[in-house]
Amino acid sequence: MHAGEERLMVVGEMPEGLDLLVIGAGPGGYTTALEAAAQGRSVTLVDRAGAEGIGGTCLLEGCIPSKALIEAAELRNRAVTFADSALGFSSGPVDLGRFQAWKGGLVSRLSKGVHGALRKAGVQIVAGSFTFTGKARGVIELGGESPPRHVEFEDAVIAVGSAAVQIPPVPFDGATVFDAAGILALTELPERLAVVGGGYIGIEIGTALRKLGSSVTVVEAADTILPGMPAGAQKQVARRAGRLGIELLTGRTAQGWDGRRLSIADSSGATTAVEVDAVLVAVGRRPATGDLGLAEAGIRVDASGLIPVDAGFRAAPRIAAVGDVVTGPALAHKAIAEAKIAVRSLCGQSAALSSTTIPLVVFSDPEVAVTGLTSAAAEAEGLHTRVVRLPLGASGRAATMEAAEGSVELVVDTETDAVIGGVLVGPHASELIGEVTLAVEMAASPADLALTVHPHPTLSELVQDTAAALLPRT
């Protein structure tokens, strides 16, 4: 037993020695496992679902399934609007059962791909629930009649992700009230859907289901949808939602559900009811750290359930934590970046996450992508900036897509003449934001972007044109 551990061993608990233990098989977990194996570590990956859980919420229930639904919904919407006007094409009713079969095959294929990479790297995958019993010890409950495995590790990484937050007035029941994973698994389209929560998850899924034919009402406690996103982007998404027929009830909270009516209250306390067939509750996620026995490992969490870590993502001398369980946005690409740093740190290398910015993307309609500092954030930091925003209507490529809602905004620090941020709103903003993120990371000037030849006709030209508008006139 290591110094400082006071827990008494019980006969039959002689621990099995492990080198590097990874808890959780989501993007942070499987990236940790692959990086550690590449460093020559012997890796054991523990997940409640074992090999079936590889990919975690992101691949199995969240990011990939939701983007599959969004893509299918957008294709249908364009078929019945754009293609109808251009080609006289019309679309029949939606078969969600067929979609689920396609989505299931897609998710399975991607998960098996990651599983194959882990297997090739020599990672041992264990199906079970892990709980710490000491600073370098724990137990893996295997379920069924299998005896638990008591283990002692050299190093460990916590990558257990997060879980959807429930609200007492409208608890999940799996029949009429769903979290995002539940709504994405439906085989029949709800005729009328209420979305409680107008953040990115609620807006993404609500918009997709509206395009597939559901009547959608969004209930958001804040005064606007997409709280925390730039005001200009909020307005553009709200306008588009209105054109799609989505009812946005901001400044309201859900008060109860009787199986047919969702009661809501405004800021004055006045209540009304919305008749719907199903409710999606998407009010946020909470770190899944509650049942890990972290106190036994000498780790404390904050009021939100997050684990404090140092620059190398160490929560304790031999334990690191990455992804949704540490501070910052709950994003797969953030977890992946943190996992690489955590492995190097545990392997004795000097490592810290040096990225200037982590891009944020909402797959709404239009898409929203933000990187670096917004103009408001820059001003709050005392920076002197120049800001230029060009409308999507200036793009010939956007015209061919019949995409009118959107803009490109760049923020430049006048003292350094460097691009320090950008807000993109429009089709494929999620793809275009990489160029602006690279510009921020490299402290590129507007001239660097403006003088880089972009292909024509493309949406990327609007980034170039916006940068050109920031150049001094001669």
Tokens of 440: 């921020």
Buried b (16+ CB within 10 A) or exposed e, 294-333: bebbbbebeeebbbebeebbbbbebbbbbbbbbeeebbbe
User: Do residues 241 and 111 both lie within one domain?
Assistant: no
User: Do residues 151 and 22 both lie within one domain?
Assistant: yes
For the stretch 69-127, pLDDT in tens is 999 999 999 888 876 666 666 667 788 999 999 999 999 999 999 999 999 999 999 99
User: Do residues 265 and 331 both lie within one domain?
Assistant: no
User: Do residues 366 and 241 both lie within one domain?
Assistant: no
Whether residue 6 has pLDDT greater than 60: no
User: Do residues 402 and 270 both lie within one domain?
Assistant: no
- Domain residue limits at 375: 360-468
Closest CA to 433 of 379, 328, 363: 363
Q: In whole angstroms, what is the distance from residue 49 CA to residue 181 CA?
A: 16
Could you tell me the CATH number of the domain that includes residue 381?
A: 3.30.390.30
Whether residue 11 has pLDDT greater than 90: no
Please spell the DSSP secondary structure of 27-64, one letter per residue. HHHHHHHHHHHHTT--EEEEETTGGGGTTHHHHHTSHH
User: Do residues 434 and 459 both lie within one domain?
Assistant: yes
What does pTM read for this prediction? Answer: 0.92
Is 333 designated active site? no
User: Do residues 38 and 110 both lie within one domain?
Assistant: yes
Domains: count for the chain: 3
Whether residue 141 has pLDDT greater than 50: yes
User: Do residues 196 and 225 both lie within one domain?
Assistant: yes
> pLDDT value at position 2?
44
User: Do residues 229 and 340 both lie within one domain?
Assistant: no
Average pLDDT across the chain, whole number: 94
Q: 169 and 255 in contact (C-beta within 8 Å)?
A: yes
User: Do residues 140 and 257 both lie within one domain?
Assistant: no
Q: Is residue 84 part of a domain?
A: no
For the stretch 183-205, pLDDT in tens is 999 999 999 999 999 999 999 99
Q: Which of 241, 263, 283 is the last residue of a domain?
A: 283
For the stretch 354-380, pLDDT in tens is 888 999 999 999 999 999 999 999 999
Could you tell me the CATH number of the domain that includes residue 136?
A: 3.50.50.60
Whether residue 3 has pLDDT greater than 60: no
Q: Which of 238, 256, 283 is the last residue of a domain?
A: 283
Marked catalytic residue, from 2, 333, 428, 456: 456
Total residue count of the chain as it appears in this document = 474
User: Do residues 292 and 400 both lie within one domain?
Assistant: no
Helix (H) or strand (E) holding 16: strand 16-23
User: Do residues 158 and 292 both lie within one domain?
Assistant: yes
For 115-214, strand residue ranges (E) read 124-127, 129-134, 137-141, 149-158, 162-164, 177-178, 192-196
Q: Which of 263, 283, 303 is the last residue of a domain?
A: 283
Q: 153 and 160 in contact (C-beta within 8 Å)?
A: no
Q: 324 and 290 in contact (C-beta within 8 Å)?
A: no
- Residue bearing the bigger pLDDT, 41 or 84: 41
